[in-house]
Amino acid sequence: MSRSSRRLQNAASPSRSLASMTTPPRRMLIAPSRRTDRSGRARLSGPGRISTMAEGGSCEEERGSVSMTPVVVRRLSGEDWRTWRLLRLAALADAPEIFHGDLAEERAYDEARWRAWTEDGVKAAAFDADGPVGVAAGRVPADRAGAVELFGMWVRPRARGGRIAERLALEVVAWAREAGRSRVELWVIAGNEPAERVYRRLGFRETGEYALHPRDPDLRKYVMARGAGGG
């Protein structure tokens, strides 16, 4: 066989083609570290994890192993206080720099307090075959006429990547519409680009309102809002 014939045969070898097709690329997950861009925004970058929530948290942009199990999203009642407690504490443990709360303090709350908190506003939870995997909450702020605030949204790492956060957010939007509110607002940490992408897909836009993060003055947060109508 000539040298040129051997080169053609090797180039067409199925084993070579399959080897290149079946070796998956490595993925890196990133966690928040602070950088400041020219606008003064604290940007989140660095090795580890990116949070993607109202004020950070739900990593929907992280592409890991996405479960194919059907996911059900429903609103919680006072009888579901254990579910709200489970998910809220898991979120605080996962991203303490994101959520407004103290893990040890909230863990010590009694049943009556958790029941009352579950019934205050709306709590929407997502469930797969193994149990609750995500949560989002909505409340009517006293100082924001006509608005509902979306907050506390979080999805378990194993369930991220399937747009569960979007379904949870839309459940809060639906509740706001049913309650006769005209818009839904949320706070997001400046520079959290994955979160911004999620909310923009849902129709949220920046309002121009900024504030310092209450637990970390090096971080800024800003308001995004959308109308309560539509889906």
pLDDT band at 60 (very low <50, low <70, confident <90, very high): very low
pLDDT value at residue 186 = 97
Closest CA to 221 of 35, 39, 42: 42
pLDDT band at 230 (very low <50, low <70, confident <90, very high): low
> How far is residue 115's CA from residue 100's CA, in Å, rounded to a whole number?
19
Q: 177: how many CB neighbours lie within 10 A of its CB?
A: 18
Query: Would you call 53 helix, strand, or coil by DSSP?
Result: coil
In this predicted structure, the answer to whether residue 72 has a pLDDT above a threshold of 60 is yes
pLDDT band at 172 (very low <50, low <70, confident <90, very high): very high
What phi and psi, each to the nearest 5 degrees, are found at residue 154? -155, 145
What is residue 16's DSSP assignment? Answer: H
What phi and psi, each to the nearest 5 degrees, are found at residue 230? 80, -170
Element (H, E) at 84: helix 81-94
CA angle 69, 126, 170 (to 5 degrees): 115
Query: Would you call 151 helix, strand, or coil by DSSP?
Result: strand
Query: Would you call 86 helix, strand, or coil by DSSP?
Result: helix
Mean pLDDT of 172-181: 97
Instruction: Tell me the longest C-alpha to C-alpha distance in the chain.
Output: 84
CA angle 107, 109, 112 (to 5 degrees): 140
pLDDT band at 98 (very low <50, low <70, confident <90, very high): confident
Q: What is the pLDDT of residues 101-138, one digit of tens each?
A: 899 999 999 999 999 999 999 999 999 999 999 999 99
The domain spans of the chain are 28-227
Top mean pLDDT of 27-31, 92-96, 185-189 is at 185-189
In this predicted structure, the answer to whether residue 27 has a pLDDT above a threshold of 90 is no
Mean per-residue pLDDT over the chain, rounded: 78
pLDDT band at 54 (very low <50, low <70, confident <90, very high): low
Q: 73: how many CB neighbours lie within 10 A of its CB?
A: 17
- Give 169 or 59, the one with higher predicted confidence: 169
**Least confident interval from 16-30, 61-75, 128-142:** 16-30
90 phi-psi bin (left φ>0, alpha ψ -120 to 50, beta other): alpha
> How far is residue 221's CA from residue 3's CA, in Å, rounded to a whole number?
65
pLDDT band at 194 (very low <50, low <70, confident <90, very high): confident
CB distance 220 to 41 below 8 Å: yes
Q: What is the pLDDT of residues 14-26, one digit of tens each?
A: 333 333 333 333 3
CB distance 200 to 165 below 8 Å: no
pLDDT band at 8 (very low <50, low <70, confident <90, very high): very low
Who contacts 63 (Cβ-Cβ below 8 Å, separation ≥6)? 27, 161
pTM: 0.72
What share of the chain in percent tops pLDDT 90? Answer: 57
> How far is residue 189's CA from residue 97's CA, in Å, rounded to a whole number?
11
pLDDT band at 195 (very low <50, low <70, confident <90, very high): confident
CB distance 75 to 124 below 8 Å: yes
Q: Which CATH class is domain 28-227?
A: alpha beta
Query: Which residue shows structure tokens 């809220």?
Result: 88
